[in-house]
A and B are shown apart, each in its own frame.
Chain A
Amino acid sequence: MINGRVHRFGDNIDTDAIVPVHAANLVDPAALGKHCMENIDPDFINRVKPGDIIVASRNFGCGSSREIAPWSIKGAGISCVIAETFARIFFRNAINIALPVMVCPEAAASTEEGDRLEVDMVSGRICNITKDRVFDAAPYPEFVQELISCGGLVAYTRKRIT
């Protein structure tokens, strides 16, 4: 069960916004996390606490295929990203590296900065404790569930090739 405070973002948060390209030679998640959202919200990294949740509107993670984007969110201590919709490559990357991501337009629409959410990744239930409301995220496709239950793509492929 994930429990955290919300940082609210809008539409089309792109990968250059999530992590600037000058950090692109870094590979350590914690180091990448220090640059998270730097281009659009330089104070974000000072406000964020481990376990916090990002809630965004449409097309979160559009742009580059750079996996450093979800790594930097993970490295910043974010426990889960909930959005109305995700860009395709970002969504795949997040699943692959086991950063929990959920598609839930209703939850996104009615959640504000600073709200406290409780998220059950197994059932897909999202409780907005501050507003006393409950939402159900879209279930993952079966194949993606299998990937997640393996612990991400590294573990899944390891099982296949070794």
Chain B
Amino acid sequence: MEYNVKFAHNIENRHFCVKRFPPNLMTLCPPLFWLDISPELFVIIPGWSILPFNLCITINRRCDTKGDSMNLAEKILAAHAGKTSVEPGQFLSVKVDLVMTTDATALISVQQFEKMGGRKVFDPQKVVFIMDHFTPCRNIESAEVVKKLRAFANEQKLVWYDVGQAGICHTLLPEQGLVLPGDVLVGGDSHTTTAGAVGAFATGMGSTDIASAMATGDTWMVVPPSIKFSYHGRLKEWVGGKDLILHTIGKIGVDGASYAAMEFGGEVIDSLSMDGRFTMANMAIEAGGKAGLFPVDEKTLQYVKDRAKKPFTPYASDPDAVYESRFDFEVSDLEPQVAFPHSPANSRPVQEFQNIEIDQAVIGSCTNGRLEDLRAAGRVLAGQKVHSRVRCIVVPGTREIYLDAVREGLVETFIEAGAVVSTPTCGPCPGGHMGVIGAGEKAISSTNRNFIGRMGSPQAEIYLANPAVAAASAVTGFITHPKEVAGS
């Protein structure tokens, strides 16, 4: 294969990347000088990381070494397309292990399924409907939608999660062992990428794509280029998966991984909890990623061991796997991150936010509604009172997490502090219910998007942060580092 023009760009001290461009982009990005080295050598050029200016180096290397080596995304897709080897840009018909959709988007899928002439879904055990967005139903319209979906699910004998069993879909699927390492999952919600934390290829699609997958059990996909993100060092107290991913999106932008599979690694990831990994994979879509994948390690196997209800095949990237680009982050000095309105890419250290008065703090969502998140918030809120001006809303992601939070005394901590604890739902995150905000109001939120109008009024402001920052801000009434409330 003739390719491999590499482009490197010094983003800032200790952050660098190597990017592969197709040859026709050479004219757009002429080389400063030529080197004939591997990208692995390239990133350790002495002095490289302290250059005070942006630098381009173009490396032209005949890359015929790809051979059969593949990265994690390529291996999963190849296995589901009946191929021994695939490469980025290739069109595939991919068999899916699970099709998931929710009350927010499923009704159009059902209508399209019927228009397609669909009679029976391809496998009722592999089609899951989860009522999470506007449930318990927020109004008559949503009640009518769920009624129709309930009837369809009954008739088709699908896997059905309603109020009482349901949780936020992306939190529920891995928790219930419905998505496993090596699986292909397509979901009618963009945050379907979350399941990449268990080493599955999981991606979001629209209602018509979901309808087609429900009917046929397969879907068309283009093999995405993969980008490798490696994190080095040791995380500070109060810093976790949310801060890593906000920092990453801040560096690469909301389309920095467009159409690509993001693969996460490095020693920081090795020691990151499963909950932290779910948070990162969840927000891959906020950089435009098609999927966000983590290597399957002991932690993953421990997590899935008692949950898996079927056999599974974990895959791993080959040591010489090819990536479109690589980003290396040294994160020992990373502070808790806050993304200011109206983009998740607007991330800055929490200390840079002075005197931002907030009206609401939200702790929950498919991004940060897991037990570790509630524990972090509980650690901050224990013995404290929510500021009289602030509404603090805690939303456990699933029934199991809720029950654990009750058993650990976290729910008591929250209520004593003056927070409210909601039933599992997407609730305020997409502006559905349970804490919609009005014009001129400011919310700090452990959710994933701070777009205009996302949480209610288009005149409101949303600041994204980790659950401990949201909890600390709830106590002081201003955006606050958790150590100021709970110590370090």
The answer to the question of B182 belonging to the interface, with a C-beta cut-off of 8 Å to chain A, is no
One of B209-217, B354-362, B413-421, B471-479 contacting the partner: B209-217
B residues less than 8 Å from A109 (CB atoms)? none
Provide the A60-71 mask, 1 if CB < 8 A to any CB of B, else 0. Answer: 001111111011
Is B145 in contact with A25, judged by CB distance below 8 angstroms?
Answer: yes
Provide the B54-88 mask, 1 if CB < 8 A to any CB of A, else 0. Answer: 00000000000000000000000000000000000
The answer to the question of B247 belonging to the interface, with a C-beta cut-off of 8 Å to chain A, is no
Measured in the bound complex, the distance between the Cα atoms of B317 and A102 in whole Å is: 35
The answer to the question of B431 belonging to the interface, with a C-beta cut-off of 8 Å to chain A, is yes
A residues less than 8 Å from B194 (CB atoms)? none
Is B458 in contact with A89, judged by CB distance below 8 angstroms?
Answer: no
Asked if A12 meets B206 with Cβ closer than 8 Å, knowing A65-B188, A87-B258, A153-B212, the reply is no
The answer to the question of B116 belonging to the interface, with a C-beta cut-off of 8 Å to chain A, is yes
How far in angstroms is the closest Cβ of chain A from B176?
Answer: 21
Is B453 in contact with A67, judged by CB distance below 8 angstroms?
Answer: no
Is B189 in contact with A62, judged by CB distance below 8 angstroms?
Answer: no
Is B204 in contact with A14, judged by CB distance below 8 angstroms?
Answer: no
Is A66 in contact with B104, judged by CB distance below 8 angstroms?
Answer: yes
Provide the B232-266 mask, 1 if CB < 8 A to any CB of A, else 0. Answer: 00000000000000000000001100110000000
The answer to the question of A157 belonging to the interface, with a C-beta cut-off of 8 Å to chain B, is yes
Is A85 in contact with B458, judged by CB distance below 8 angstroms?
Answer: no
- The one of A39, A68, A152, A162 in contact with B458, judged by C-beta atoms closer than 8 angstroms, is A39
Provide the A118-162 mask, 1 if CB < 8 A to any CB of B, else 0. Answer: 000000000000000000000001110000000011101110111
Measured in the bound complex, the distance between the Cα atoms of B215 and A161 in whole Å is: 8
- The one of B107, B187, B208, B255 in contact with A62, judged by C-beta atoms closer than 8 angstroms, is B255
The answer to the question of B222 belonging to the interface, with a C-beta cut-off of 8 Å to chain A, is yes
Measured in the bound complex, the distance between the Cα atoms of B454 and A67 in whole Å is: 16
Asked if A92 meets B205 with Cβ closer than 8 Å, knowing A12-B255, A25-B145, A87-B288, the reply is yes
Is A96 in contact with B117, judged by CB distance below 8 angstroms?
Answer: no
Asked if A65 meets B208 with Cβ closer than 8 Å, knowing A17-B452, A25-B142, A141-B91, the reply is no
The answer to the question of A100 belonging to the interface, with a C-beta cut-off of 8 Å to chain B, is no
Is B216 in contact with A27, judged by CB distance below 8 angstroms?
Answer: no
- The one of B116, B133, B141 in contact with A157, judged by C-beta atoms closer than 8 angstroms, is B116
How far in angstroms is the closest Cβ of chain A from B435?
Answer: 13
Q: Which of A44-85 contact B (CB under 8 A)?
A: 58-59, 62-68, 70-71, 85
How far in angstroms is the closest Cβ of chain B from A89?
Answer: 6
**What 4 pairs across the A-B complex have the smallest Cβ distances?**
A39-B453, A93-B206, A67-B206, A25-B141
Residues of B within 8 A of A (CB): 91, 104-105, 107-108, 111-112, 115-118, 133-134, 139, 141-142, 144-145, 187-190, 192, 204-209, 211-212, 215-216, 220, 222, 254-255, 258-259, 285, 288, 290, 343, 430-432, 449, 451-454, 458
30 A-B residue pairings within 8 Å (CB atoms): A14-B451, A14-B452, A16-B451, A16-B452, A17-B451, A21-B430, A24-B104, A24-B430, A25-B145, A39-B452, A40-B458, A62-B254, A63-B190, A67-B206, A85-B255, A85-B258, A88-B290, A89-B205, A92-B206, A97-B208, A141-B91, A143-B220, A153-B209, A154-B116, A158-B115, A160-B216, A161-B116, A161-B117, A161-B215, A161-B216
Residues of A within 8 A of B (CB): 12, 14, 16-17, 20-22, 24-27, 38-40, 58-59, 62-68, 70-71, 85, 87-89, 92-93, 96-97, 141-143, 152-154, 156-158, 160-162
